[in-house]
């Protein structure tokens, strides 16, 4: 009996290397290291100054908010191809609420999130009720929401596909700094006075603060990781994506989990819309174009399997950073920026191959 127990694989101690290889974010972390080394060799040193780091983290943060939500949905076994169109649609709703209706942010933001959540719930309900692949359902909503944004903007602007005046409408609102601008401005001015960071000729710090979208990015990554690894809801998400029938038979509320995840991706898109609309002072029908694919690619680079049941929020976090580094990093080199498209396809292919190999290693498949 003792020999049998000692041989039981459930109590076998695994080596550190084995445990490390099972981590879904391993490939993304390795990708960040390789991309960093590449730009250390080929890019201007300015890329890795404090100002340069903030420069590439800003687009990474906006994509990362979408990518983390997409990763959680993929772990749950579904896709949402309407995320990018939701950015445009939610931006239109938000713009109309603050410009045309004159609502303060304390009302406009919850209403925008509510609209997005309803669309996300409808997406999820259609997928569950009809049994159609979420790829098809959300592909339909990609066109529906993009078209609704075009029609709606023309309706509310008397024929234009761009709504301006947002910045002026929210200028004095106490919630504006939470969704726009730079945080910790006084600290950065003090650091510039001490000579810790560079100053402009005017004496102002070269980096006025940390863009608020980066703080949202970090907070969402931490919250999503906590949910996935430390809460029962995280187990439900993994179980739902791994085997829906087994999860349902074990008492997991599969329907509620999936609809909640669709609502999460829609609300993440609405958050990005609010941040970008306030920052730019306007919204247009092409906002968020192609972001649905970039978010899913960030999630796949981060370790999510297309079959569901495997992945991590931290992996999507690093996947988005890779995007930001390459998007902005190419401007610090002598390379043609159109190489980004080549990199995008190569990273996706490598990530799928790597993740598939890891899955086979973990499950013992041949």
Per cent of the chain over pLDDT 90 is: 61
Q: Residues 305-345: pLDDT tens digits?
A: 888 888 899 999 999 999 899 888 888 988 877 787 787 78
- Is the pLDDT at 238 greater than 60? The verdict is yes
Q: Where are the domains of the chain?
A: 27-34+49-357
Mean per-residue pLDDT of the chain: 88
**Lowest-pLDDT range of 102-106, 171-175, 316-320, 336-340:** 336-340
Task: Give, in words, the CATH class of 27-34+49-357.
Answer: mainly alpha
The yes-or-no verdict on residue 270 having pLDDT over 90 is yes
* Integer CA distances (angstroms), 69 to 20, 181, 230, 299, 312, in order: 24, 23, 17, 9, 10
Q: What pLDDT is attached to residue 353? A: 77
Residue 5 has pLDDT above 60, yes or no: no
For 24-39, b/e burial (b = at least 16 CB within 10 A) is: bbbbbbebbeebbeeb
| Averaged pLDDT, 276-292 | 93
- Rounded to an integer, the average pLDDT of 112-123 is 97
Per-residue confidence (pLDDT) for residue 93, from 0 to 100: 97
């Amino acid at each position: 009996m003792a020999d049998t127990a000692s041989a039981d694989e459930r109590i076998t101690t695994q080596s550190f290397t084995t445990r490390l290889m099972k981590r879904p974010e391993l490939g993304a972390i390795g990708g960040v290291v390789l991309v960093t080394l590449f730009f250390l060799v080929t890019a201007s040193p300015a890329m890795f100054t404090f100002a340069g780091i903030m420069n590439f983290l800003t687009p990474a943060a906006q994509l990362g908010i979408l990518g983390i939500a997409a990763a959680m949905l993929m772990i749950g076994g579904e896709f949402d191809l309407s995320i990018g169109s939701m950015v445009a649609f939610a931006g239109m709703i938000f713009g109309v609420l603050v410009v045309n209706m004159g609502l303060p942010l304390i009302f406009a933001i919850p209403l925008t999130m509510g609209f997005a959540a309803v669309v996300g719930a409808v997406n999820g309900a259609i997928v569950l009720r009809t049994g159609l692949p979420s790829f098809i359902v959300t592909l339909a909503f990609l066109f529906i929401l993009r078209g609704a944004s075009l029609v709606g903007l023309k309706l509310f602007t008397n024929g234009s596909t761009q709504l301006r005046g947002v910045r002026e409408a929210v200028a004095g609102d106490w919630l504006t700094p939470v969704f726009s601008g730079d945080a910790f401005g006084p600290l950065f001015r003090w650091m510039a006075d001490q000579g810790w960071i560079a100053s402009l000729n005017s004496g102002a710090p070269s980096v006025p603060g940390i863009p608020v979208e980066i703080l949202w990015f970090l907070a969402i990554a931490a919250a999503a990781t906590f949910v996935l690894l430390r809460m029962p809801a995280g187990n439900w998400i993994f179980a739902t994506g791994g085997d829906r029938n087994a999860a349902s038979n074990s008492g997991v509320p599969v329907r509620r989990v999936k609809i909640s995840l669709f609502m999460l991706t829609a609300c993440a898109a609405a958050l990005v819309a609010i941040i970008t609309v306030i920052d730019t002072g306007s919204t247009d029908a092409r906002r968020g174009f192609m972001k649905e694919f970039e978010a899913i690619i960030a999630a796949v680079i981060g370790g999510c399997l297309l079959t569901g049941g495997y992945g991590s929020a931290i992996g999507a976090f690093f996947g988005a950073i890779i995007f930001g580094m390459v998007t902005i990093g190419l401007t610090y080199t002598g390379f043609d920026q159109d190489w980004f498209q080549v990199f995008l396809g190569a990273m996706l292919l490598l990530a799928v191959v790597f993740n598939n190999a890891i899955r086979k290693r973990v499950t013992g498949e041949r």
